[in-house]
Every structure is written in structure tokens, then in C-alpha cells.
């Protein structure tokens, strides 16, 4: 799906998914092209929100992960009304601040362009209990840096729809995860991802050749290591 600001580009969705910790409920309040929702491993429960009914309608007609709820509505109002259990992960990818865009005109059917709107969103996200993991994406800007002071950040290079290089930035209210929700895109670039995939294939073959008890013992040791992290 072609969509302004979509995260479909090579290296973009992989970088984002490699920063997502384990969770049960995935919430994407500015769905847009839904690249992260579509590319990541499905969660037990997914809530996808967009104020543009055409966006939601396009997903209704497609194959979406089981357990997904699609909602047409205002992201800020809906997030404000939610009750949090602590097993949620929120990925927030709003239309970027107008002052950071190369195109200053309207590019979405339902814009989110004023500093006041962004400030309201950031204030709301800061008020969500810290046991809920939150990631926000945007172009580097002082407003987000000031309002999200103390959040972990990550910058990486991406390409705009006009094939121009752009720096994307992530703000996260949680430390660097030591466990991930989805390991399929592990690696900083295509070459490293392919190297890791080849290593996974080799290890699976080795495990398949092992005696059942030996394989179980090894997997048990790996599980002990995971629990100790």
C-alpha cells in the first residue's frame, strides 16, 4: 500500500521491529499503511486505530492477523479511555510535525499537523503507566526531544517517497530490550540478516540430528539462560 510516511521500505520496518520487546497486546493508534502491524509476528491481541475510515476499510478487505480489532476513531481520545494491564506495546507513528517535513502542504486526508496536537499526544503518552512499553517514530525535532526527555532514542537512515535520504528517529520509554517479540529481522543490514538466517538454519539441522534427550537438555539450558536475562 502506497502511503505517505509508510514504513514499508527495506531497512525501516526491520529496524523498528528489532526494537520491539515481548508483549501480548499490540496497539497502533495511527495505522496508515500498517507496515509494522503487517510485518511483525502477530500478537495475541492487536488494536489498530485510524481516524481515516478509508484506511480502516482497506484493511477490512485484506487478510489481517487473527485477534485484530480495527477501529475508526481519534487516537488521543481512544488511548485516553483505555485501561492498562502492563502487557501492552504501543507503536505510535503519527503524521510527522509539519515543520520537519520537506513538503509543507497537506498530504493526508486527516491531518495531524499542529504543534498543539502533537503536544497533546505526547502529554498523553507520558501519562500512560511506565509498565506499558511505548515507541514513537518521527523526524528528529526539538519538541519531541524536550517532551520525551529521558526516553531512549535511536536514529537511522531511510528513504522518502521521493527517493531522498531522510533521518528517522525513534523515542522509547523502555531500555534496550534483551528479548524481542520477533527475531526474524535481526541484524543491522541485509547482509547481516542473511548471515544470521544461515546460522539459524545450520543450528536447526544440528538440533535435528541430535538424540532427543540431548536436544532437550540443550534447549533447557537455553531456556534457563533466557530466564536469567
pLDDT averaged per 10 residues, the chain (length 229): 67 94 97 92 96 90 87 95 95 87 66 85 96 96 96 89 81 95 91 92 92 92 80
Domain 12-172 sits in CATH at 3.40.50.150
Helices and strands: H and E segment counts in the chain: 8, 7
Predicted confidence at residue 222, as pLDDT, reads 86
Asked whether 186 and 196 are in contact (CB, 8 A), the reply is: yes
3 state DSSP class of 155: strand
Residues 21 and 173: their CA atoms lie apart, in Å, by 12
> Residue 229 has what DSSP assignment?
-
Q: What is the pTM of this model?
A: 0.88
Predicted confidence at residue 107, as pLDDT, reads 66
Query: Taken in order 212, 215, 219, 224, is the CA torsion positive or negative?
Result: positive
Spell out the domain ranges in the chain.
Answer: 12-172, 190-228
Asked whether 89 and 28 are in contact (CB, 8 A), the reply is: no
Predicted confidence at residue 95, as pLDDT, reads 87
Q: Go through the chain and tell me how many residues it has.
A: 229
3 state DSSP class of 78: helix
The region that residue 67 occupies, defined by phi over 0 for left and psi between -120 and 50 for alpha, beta otherwise, is: left
Half-sphere exposure (CA, 13 Å, Cβ side) for 52?
A: 18
Predicted confidence at residue 50, as pLDDT, reads 95
Predicted confidence at residue 29, as pLDDT, reads 96
Residues 98 and 143: their CA atoms lie apart, in Å, by 12
Phi and psi at residue 167, in whole multiples of 5°? -95, 120
Q: In what order do the strands lie in the sheet with 88-92?
A: 68-72, 45-50, 25-28, 88-92, 133-138, 165-172, 152-159
DSSP string over 80-135: HH----S-EEEEE-PPPPGGG-S--S--SSS----HHHHHHHHHHHHHS-TTSEEE
Amino acid at each position: 500500500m502506497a502511503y505517505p510516511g509508510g514504513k514499508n521500505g527495506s531497512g525501516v520496518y526491520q529496524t523498528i521491529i528489532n526494537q520491539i520487546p515481548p508483549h501480548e497486546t499490540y496497539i497502533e493508534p495511527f495505522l496508515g499503511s500498517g507496515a509494522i502491524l503487517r510485518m511483525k509476528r502477530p500478537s495475541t491481541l492487536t488494536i489498530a486505530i485510524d481516524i481515516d475510515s478509508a484506511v480502516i476499510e482497506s484493511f477490512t478487505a485484506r487478510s489481517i492477523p487473527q485477534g485484530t480489532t480495527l477501529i475508526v476513531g481519534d487516537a488521543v481520545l481512544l488511548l485516553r479511555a483505555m485501561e492498562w494491564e502492563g502487557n501492552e506495546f504501543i507503536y505510535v507513528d503519527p503524521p510527522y510535525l509539519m515543520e520537519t517535513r520537506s513538503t509543507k502542504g497537506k498530504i493526508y486526508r486527516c491531518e495531524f499537523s499542529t504543534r498543539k496536537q502533537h503536544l497533546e499526544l505526547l502529554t498523553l503518552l507520558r501519562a500512560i503507566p511506565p509498565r506499558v512499553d511505548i515507541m514513537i517514530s518521527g523526524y528528529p525535532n526539538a519538541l519531541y526531544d524536550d517532551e520525551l526527555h529521558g526516553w531512549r532514542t535511536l536514529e537511522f537512515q531511510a528513504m522518502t517517497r521521493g527517493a531522498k535520504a531522510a533521518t528517522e528517529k525513534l523515542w522509547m520509554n523502555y531500555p534496550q530490550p534483551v528479548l524481542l517479540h520477533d527475531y526474524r529481522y535481526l541484524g543491522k543490514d541485509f547482509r547481516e540478516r542473511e548471515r544470521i538466517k544461515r546460522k539459524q538454519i545450520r543450528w536447526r539441522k544440528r538440533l535435528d540430528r541430535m538424540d532427543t534427550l540431548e536436544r532437550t537438555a540443550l534447549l533447557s539450558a537455553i531456556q534457563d539462560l533466557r530466564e536469567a536475562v
